[in-house]
Structure 1
Amino acid sequence: MPVPDADGLRPTGDRVRETLFNWLQNRIEGRRVLDLFAGSGALGFEAASRGAAEVLLVESHAPAAASLRASRERLKADRLQVVQADALAWMAGNAGERFDLVFLDPPFASDFWPRLWPLLLPLLHDGALVYVEAAAAAALALPDGLVALKEGKTRESRYLLAQWQKPAGG
């Protein structure tokens, strides 16, 4: 997949991506997937190739979004949609949407997490899986109800797969 040159755009490495999809195994087919901060789109396109019912890629950088659309057309990935929008603004405006699997890999230099969680949680079906990738040194606290299932680390990043279990009374 072509990767446009953009500040903070860094595709998930091959080894980490392989680990993630080994973790997910048969939990993609027929699912509704959201790839926020889509960047190169590698995670979303891989989910589509593994049978996701629908994949929505949200990317704010115009050249990256255009590249994603071109790849979608070239690969005839009909179950994949590309939206050029700020991820936080998109979540705030689409509170009625629900997803089974979400990929979160924002630019490492950003501090989206405190603002992201309250917008994301209402978009999750109960039992939804959430993949999170952050800088290796980042302090990443998951909100109540999001339970880490698997974790890994490289020199540059830490990553985890969590599951949403809506807290009682929440």
Structure 2
Amino acid sequence: MLIEKIHHVAYRCKDAKETVTWYTKYLEMDFQLAFAENQVPSTKAPDPYMHIFLDAGGGNVLAFFELPKQPEMGRDVNTPDWVQHIAFQVDSVVTLERIKARLQADGIEVVGVTDHTLFKSIYFFDPNGHRLELAADTSTPELLSKAAAVKWEMLEEWSRTKRAPQHAAWMHASEFQA
């Protein structure tokens, strides 16, 4: 099987209109399409839905389903809030800081700018409770090569010990962060 790209990624939303408005305002995504039916085409389940599609740039599509007849959506209580997230790349740290300021001006809590050496990120939640990350690339070919050189060794050590290998601890060491 040869995957060409991700066609779209779909999540649940609480309110389709609010979600479109939020993503167009804060992340400047274009609203592409909307589909709504009373029956799920694949399963034939009688479950009305609104399916919306947003342009996430670079041929990437972010989609949401509003499901008004289903129980209120929640999070996996066994997974910390910081784990499951959608990360979007932006063109620069300047853009990252501009979007952070826009979010904070409207009272949206933002974590970061966090320096990961290879990129800088901010983290926040959309109105549906989905954690989002915006990342600006700050890597160099040398840093990427250094990180890639230890990936298999780290994975093998983690698999054996379930303790964080220190092969790439340099990425969060102060001498590498600006």
TM-score, L = length of structure 2 = 0.28
Q: TM-score, normalised by structure 1?
A: 0.29
